[in-house]
Structure formats: C-alpha cells, structure tokens
C-alpha cells in the first residue's frame, strides 16, 4: 500500500484530504481542548511504579489533548530506571527501541560523554539540539511512537526543551495549503544518508515520509531540522512545506511549550516535535536525563 492510499483509505479520518468535514470537526475539537500551556499539563505522581486512577486519568487527558504530559514525582529520589520503566508500562509503553547508546534494557543515559563512541553525537554534548522527532532515521518497523524523557539532574544553566504537538504542525500546514501535506506524505519526502563509520555501515540510506499513519489511523511524524545528514526531496512543494514548518517552530506561537525538566520530572509523549537548548554543567550540577524510546504509542 502506498502512503497516498493509506491516507485516503481511511474514512472518516481527519487525515484524509478527501474528507474535509472530518478534518474540520477534529480540528475544531482539537483547538478548543488544547491545554493553555506547559503548566496545564503537569501532573504530580506519588509512586511512579503504580499510578492511582486519578493520576492515570489526568495523564491520559493531557496525552489525548496534546500528545504529551509532564509528570512530577513527589518521591524523594524517584530516579531508578525500573520506576520509569514501570511508569511507561502503566500507560501502554512496552516495546523499547534498543538504539545505539542505550543500555541492555533499552534506556539511554543522556549526559556529556567525551569518549570516541559518543562525542560525535550532539545529544552527548552540551550543544543545542535542533527541532526533531526521535528516531526519524529508523526503519518503518521501528518507528518511534512514544517517548519518556526523565530528569535525574538538570544542568546549572540551560537544557530547556521546546515542545510542539505534531498534530498542531499538521493543522498549521494543512490550513496554509493542503498540498503541503500531499508533499510530506510522500514516501521519499526526505532521505537519510547511510551512517558509515570506519568502513562499516551502521545504517543504510533510508527514505521516509514526514507524516504517516499507524494501523489505528493515528498520525506520527518524522522530522529533523538538521541540515547535515538529511536530504530533502528536490520538490518545490516539499521545500515550501519544510520552510513553513521551520517558520512555525521558530515563532512565538503559544502552541509551543517551553520548560526545563527538574529532578524527578519527566516528559511522556507520543514522540512530539522537540528541541533542547545548550546547557552548562558545573562541579555540583551534571545534567543527566534518561531517555526511553518506544515502538508503542501511549494508550489512553
Ligand atoms: Fe529527541
């Protein structure tokens, strides 16, 4: 099945360009129920291992409304990996992506690392990370649908995340011009060159659509603002769509939430668009976050 037919096969679906009524209704509801900002999606959690009914429904409501929630543990040291793993399980996040850099269980410790294996990857430096969704270079079978980013320790300065629900990016582009969506659902909207280190191919070249649908008709997105290591399709409509998306990401839109995770806080999301500002450590503050990437979407 081609990407195009996937998008037009579902009806009613807000993501079917031939079904403008379904889109209008979904869009109206989405914008009417959008949380007012980051503060509105913070949910306090007593025990990350076991959510109470009210905690679970509060998190679920945020995820339904904007594909993300911030949890804030009230435990004294809620930093054990098993606790974070259990929190994910409570929300249907099970299948971890064992990406490069992750431990045996599939959890990645994001901190400054200066060894040869890590230092060429920006997440392990203090540098800013441009807007992206996680795993934009993965195989289709290993598409990242869910993610948890848990803060063990923040930096002394910086390390802020900006977050944008990818469904709002879709709405923005479709409202501007539905042809932007047509361009970005193409299966070769962008190509990631092969990752070859010392003659060994760690990842072959791969072409991907920006917007895609899962079996349940849910929208997911692959995107990176990096200029290196990505080749956009030589298509004026793709170029125009990406420029519009970048303009939105660098605007002051209130739909972009910004915040710096503190100890015991974490982002749980359906792989929304995000970035990270540069940061500084000192002798007593060493930024450490756990990142868990899942093939599952949060079930709410
Ligand atoms: Fe990321």
Distance from residue 75's CA to the centre of ligand 1 (Å): 26
Under the banding of pLDDT at 50, 70 and 90, the label for residue 84 is very high
CB neighbour class for 93 (10 Å; exposed up to 12, middle 13-18, buried from 19): buried
CB 153 within 8 A of CB 211: no
Distance from residue 147's CA to the centre of ligand 1 (Å): 9
Distance from residue 148's CA to the centre of ligand 1 (Å): 10
DSSP string, 204-226: --EEE-SEEE-TTS-EEE--B--
The HSE-up count of residue 22 (CA atoms within 13 Å, CB side) is 13
Question: What is the mean pLDDT of the segment spanning 91-108?
Answer: 89
pLDDT tens, 50-67?
999 999 999 999 999 999
Question: Residue 3 pLDDT more than 80?
Answer: no
Distance from residue 277's CA to the centre of ligand 1 (Å): 12
Distance from residue 289's CA to the centre of ligand 1 (Å): 11
Distance from residue 9's CA to the centre of ligand 1 (Å): 31
* pLDDT value, residue 5: 59
CA gap 128, 126 in Å, rounded: 7
pLDDT tens, 107-119?
999 999 988 778 7
Distance from residue 143's CA to the centre of ligand 1 (Å): 14
> What is the residue whose two structure tokens read 């299948």?
95
> What is the residue whose two structure tokens read 């949890």?
71
Under the banding of pLDDT at 50, 70 and 90, the label for residue 1 is very low
Distance from residue 134's CA to the centre of ligand 1 (Å): 5
Question: Residue 264 pLDDT more than 90?
Answer: yes
127: tokens are: 């540098």
Instruction: Give span(s): CATH 3.60.130.10, the chain.
Output: 33-128+140-160+260-300
Distance from residue 57's CA to the centre of ligand 1 (Å): 26
Distance from residue 237's CA to the centre of ligand 1 (Å): 26
**3-class DSSP state for residue 143?**
coil
- Nearest CA to 149 out of 93, 203, 223 is that of 93
β-pairing, 206-208 with 219-221?
unpaired
CA gap 125, 118 in Å, rounded: 9
**3-class DSSP state for residue 195?**
strand
Distance from residue 123's CA to the centre of ligand 1 (Å): 8
pLDDT tens, 118-149?
877 888 888 999 999 999 999 999 999 999 99
CATH class of 33-128+140-160+260-300: alpha beta
Under the banding of pLDDT at 50, 70 and 90, the label for residue 78 is low
Question: Residue 211 pLDDT more than 90?
Answer: yes
pLDDT tens, 180-189?
999 999 999 9
Distance from residue 266's CA to the centre of ligand 1 (Å): 13
Distance from residue 275's CA to the centre of ligand 1 (Å): 7
Distance from residue 159's CA to the centre of ligand 1 (Å): 12
For the four alpha carbons of 98, 103, 109 and 111, in that order, the dihedral sign comes to negative
Distance from residue 270's CA to the centre of ligand 1 (Å): 12
- Nearest CA to 63 out of 79, 47, 87 is that of 87
Share of the chain above pLDDT 70, in %: 98
Backbone angles phi, psi at 69, to 5 degrees: -150, 155
Distance from residue 18's CA to the centre of ligand 1 (Å): 33
Helix, strand, coil content of the chain in percent (nearest 5): 30, 25, 45
């Amino acid at each position: 099945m081609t990407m195009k037919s996937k998008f037009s096969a579902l009806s009613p679906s807000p993501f079917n360009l031939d079904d403008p009524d379904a889109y209008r209704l979904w869009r109206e509801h989405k914008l009417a129920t959008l949380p007012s900002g980051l503060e509105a999606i913070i949910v306090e959690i007593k025990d990350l291992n076991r959510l109470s009914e009210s905690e679970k429904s509060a998190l679920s409501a945020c995820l339904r409304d904007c594909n993300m929630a911030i949890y804030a543990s009230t435990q004294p040291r809620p930093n054990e990996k098993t606790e974070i793993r259990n929190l994910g399980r409570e929300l249907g996040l099970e299948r971890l992506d064992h990406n490069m850099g992750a431990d045996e269980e599939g959890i990645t410790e994001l901190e400054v690392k200066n060894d040869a294996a890590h230092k060429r990857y920006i997440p392990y430096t203090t540098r800013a990370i441009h807007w992206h969704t996680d795993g934009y270079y993965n195989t289709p079978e290993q598409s990242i649908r869910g993610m948890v980013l848990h803060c063990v320790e923040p930096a002394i300065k910086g390390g802020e995340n900006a977050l944008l629900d990818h469904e709002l990016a879709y709405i923005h582009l479709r409202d501007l011009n539905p042809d932007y969506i047509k361009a970005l659902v193409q299966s070769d909207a962008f190509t990631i060159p092969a990752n070859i280190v010392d003659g060994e191919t760690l990842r072959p070249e791969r072409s991907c659509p920006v917007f895609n649908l899962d079996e349940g008709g849910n929208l997911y997105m692959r995107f990176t603002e990096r200029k290196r290591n990505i080749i956009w399709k030589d298509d004026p409509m793709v170029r125009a769509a990406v420029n519009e998306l970048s303009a939105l990401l660098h605007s002051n839109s209130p739909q972009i939430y910004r915040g710096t995770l503190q100890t015991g806080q974490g982002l749980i999301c359906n792989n929304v668009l995000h970035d990270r500002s540069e940061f500084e450590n000192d002798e007593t503050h060493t930024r450490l976050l756990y990142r868990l990437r899942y093939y599952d979407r949060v079930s709410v």
